[in-house]
Amino acid sequence: MIAMIPHHDKPLKAGWFLLTFAFIFVLWFTAASRADTIHVDRSFHWMQYNKDKFKNPNPPPNSNPPGHPLNPYQTVAEGIAAANPRDVISVLSGYYPEKLSINKRLTITAASGAVTIGECRQNPKPGDLIKPEDAHFTVNSKESLISALKAAKPGNIIYISNGAEINLNGEKESIGIPEGVILASGRGDKLKEGALLSVGEHREEQRYIFKINGSNVRITGIRFRGPDFSPDASRLAGCLISDGNHENLEIDHNEFYGWPVAAIEIRNNSKDKCSLGTVHIHDNYFHHNLGYKSAWYWTYTFGYGVAVYAAYALIEKNVFDQNRHAIAAGVNRPKEGYEARWNVVLDKNDCCEKLVTSGSHSFDVHPPGGGYFMIRENAFLYGGREGVAIRGKPVEGAFVLNNTFTQPKSAIRSWKKAVTQENVYGNLVVRDNDYEVNHQHELAFGDFDGDGGTDVFWAEGRNWWVSRRGKIVWLHLNSSTNVLKELAFGDFDGNDTTDVFKTHNGWWYVSWNGTSGWRALNNSNVELKNVAFGDFDGDGKTDVFRVHVNENGETEWQVSYAGASSWETIKTMNSSTLGLKDLAFGDFNGDGTTDVFYTGPENFRWSVSWSGRSQWRVLFAQSGRPGIPLNHLAFGHFNDDKSTDVYFSNADGKVWHVWSSGTNRLTFLEKIETPRERLHFGDFNGDGMTDAFMPMAVPPIFMSTIWQVSYGATSDWEQVNASFAKDY
């Protein structure tokens, strides 16, 4: 049993550790003469290390640089692998699936009972994308679907035609999904929506529409629409249930909405917490599962995205929005729980005012408290009730670690707090969370899947998410605590996908495609605020640009090619008052290299330095017209030539023009009457031309936002994130 730690959020002091943690074992290994093996299961919890000692003075390539401590919580395996001789590692509780060969002299301490020996599954490999050509059965109707499910054998794939809409009304019993079968459609494959399976009515004996009847079942890429989106629902309907000792279940890339009971229920599959990974629920979108109004008590109940009863499940990388509870468990079994990681709970907006007094907290543990719960690295944007409510005392413990909450840590009303425990207290660890944080409206843009269209990027404080072309609901991209102000974007390897860039402690890092871990790109003390980006040699890779004053007082423009080379001076000026904030960048002559742009503050005169190497040249000017500030300008390809055009507004920000560098002509735009600060730009339909993008708050609830695009920045506004709010 795990030794519990008191409920607090401050780092534990060394003295407290000495009193609390039993010294379990000390390993002294000599690097040259001996290699022993330590066998722990998977890293179910985290480890703590001495930050002052736990540094790598000689990092290998693409590793953490000198003076850059590793994350404060790592897996046991990662900590041991990265540790230096004589480092001290304190394990709070741990599991790891593979044996670890250690040939270092280490000191490892652990709380009594924290390390469990044996085989565990935490990180199951997600299944591959299912294509139509992989199918043994292809169906597009209710009759063909049910027939295929009855005929399918273990190992068979049933593919529901992408875009098919199938009404499942009229069935008297739950539709069975046999053992070993994959039920799939296209959601998750680029911009495909997937098949839509719906019910508008149901029978009480058919409380769940689908029932999993065995192990090794996967359900992927399907939209499941339930019968009722109202919190006043009077019909008990759920979508999918697994009731029994079923292993290797994977439910991924689906959309579940309109289910008053639960979208997914996992029941009677309890072994121990090591079995979490045998039920893997990931990359789904759960929304508008608002619950049921009880006729007996006139209170609200159910309304779950995922419910876990007498079972364990791994729930990760999902988007939850407007569910009474995103996740619920803990009814009455000691062997019951879940690990929830890398999920986001969006703001419930105005849907749930009735539910606030009926317990609409996001992650729920029912009394008496269940068995084991690990809640880590999630973002909770709904602040109407608690982010996490533990309504009892879990037998093995509940751990709430490294999450981001919009709620405060403490509040006069307990249900306004981020985390609460009710009824019976104890066995709860709450550590290293961030409170009263909301990065919901901080967006960036890039092509993260390489399809030629601009995607929307969001860093909420614990994870990165991407919406493909702004049309598909958030997909998990990576786990990172870096938020937008700490990041920049470019294609540093020239593979036509966007990478993420940051600076930290004298090093530059890149996350390739936004999906890899941080990789060391270059050793430089120049910080993010002092650099810009472009392709100054035309090789298709993003370079890093800076303005530098040398020892002679001369201003130099310098470039680090692909962010990996040393600085090269491309232009020297004897005297210049222009800083980085005065400059913009684009390819104004269409030669494939980035030019440097400047607009004068007093006169309407635009100047360019070709490739950042030539003297200033007049790009465009109009006499007698006042200058336009740089923050009133935008740059892109607003016509079909290859050169950068300038998109700009008058001083009031409401009358827009576009200047074409190819024709040297101004065009007045009638469609756009929006201040520059509200606009973003990108190619959201992949046609090679720049579009205008505008997030638009829906009154009176500011947090409710739709996204609109003006294609070519000349068309009428069109809502693009329709899948965020479809059919309800």
Domains plus CATH for the chain? 1-120 (no CATH), 132-431 (2.160.20.10)
pLDDT at 221: 98
Q: Map residue 23 onto helix, strand or coil.
A: coil
31-45, 326-340, 391-405, 542-556: the lowest-pLDDT one = 31-45
Q: Map residue 492 onto helix, strand or coil.
A: coil
**Looking at the whole model, is its pTM more than 0.75?**
yes
Q: Is the pLDDT of residue 283 over 90?
A: yes
Q: What is the pLDDT of residues 187-230, one digit of tens each?
A: 999 999 999 999 986 555 557 999 999 999 999 999 999 988 77
Distances (CA, A) of 66 to 58, 74, 318, 528: 7, 18, 35, 19
Of 4-13, 444-453, 570-579, the range with the highest mean pLDDT is 444-453
Q: Is the pLDDT of residue 532 over 60?
A: yes
Q: Which one, of 234, 358, 346, lies nearest residue 287 by Cα? A: 346
Q: Is the pLDDT of residue 119 over 50?
A: no
Q: 644, exposed or middle or buried, with CB in 10 Å at 0-12, 13-18, 19+?
A: buried
CB of 376 closer than 8 Å to CB of 403: yes
CB of 262 closer than 8 Å to CB of 297: no
pLDDT at 26: 32
410-414, 419-423, 506-510: the lowest-pLDDT one = 410-414
pLDDT band (50, 70, 90) for residue 60: very low
pLDDT band (50, 70, 90) for residue 171: confident
672 Cβ contact partners less than 8 Å away, ≥ 6 residues apart: 656, 679, 692, 710, 713, 714
Does the bond joining 700 to the residue before it have cis omega, within 30 degrees of 0? yes
Mean pLDDT of 532-553: 97
Strand partners, 586: 595
Q: Is the pLDDT of residue 5 over 60?
A: no
pLDDT at 664: 80
Cα separation, 649 vs 638, in Å, equals: 15
36-45, 369-378, 696-705: the lowest-pLDDT one = 36-45
Helix (H) / strand (E) element for 533: namely: strand 532-534
Chain CA centroid to CA 193, Å: 19
pLDDT band (50, 70, 90) for residue 359: low
Any idea what DSSP says for residue 189?
S
Burial annotation 291-315 (CB, 10 A radius, 16+ → b, else e):
bbbeeeeeebbbbbbbbbbbbbbbb
Cα separation, 62 vs 522, in Å, equals: 10
Would you state the torsion angle of the CA atoms of residues 54, 59, 63, 67, taken in this order, to the nearest 10 degrees? 50
Cα separation, 457 vs 445, in Å, equals: 6
Cα separation, 269 vs 337, in Å, equals: 11
* Higher per-residue confidence, 113 vs 386: 386
Q: Is the pLDDT of residue 139 over 60?
A: yes
* Higher per-residue confidence, 22 vs 313: 313
Mean pLDDT of 131-153: 97
Q: 44, exposed or middle or buried, with CB in 10 Å at 0-12, 13-18, 19+?
A: buried
110-119, 514-523, 615-624: the lowest-pLDDT one = 110-119
pLDDT at 623: 84
464 Cβ contact partners less than 8 Å away, ≥ 6 residues apart: 457, 458, 476, 477, 478, 479, 480, 500, 514
348-362, 520-534, 691-705: the lowest-pLDDT one = 348-362
pLDDT at 565: 98
| Longest alpha-carbon distance in the chain | 86
Q: 218, exposed or middle or buried, with CB in 10 Å at 0-12, 13-18, 19+?
A: buried
Cα separation, 385 vs 406, in Å, equals: 10
Q: Mean of the per-residue pLDDT values for the chain?
A: 80
Mean pLDDT of 633-646: 91
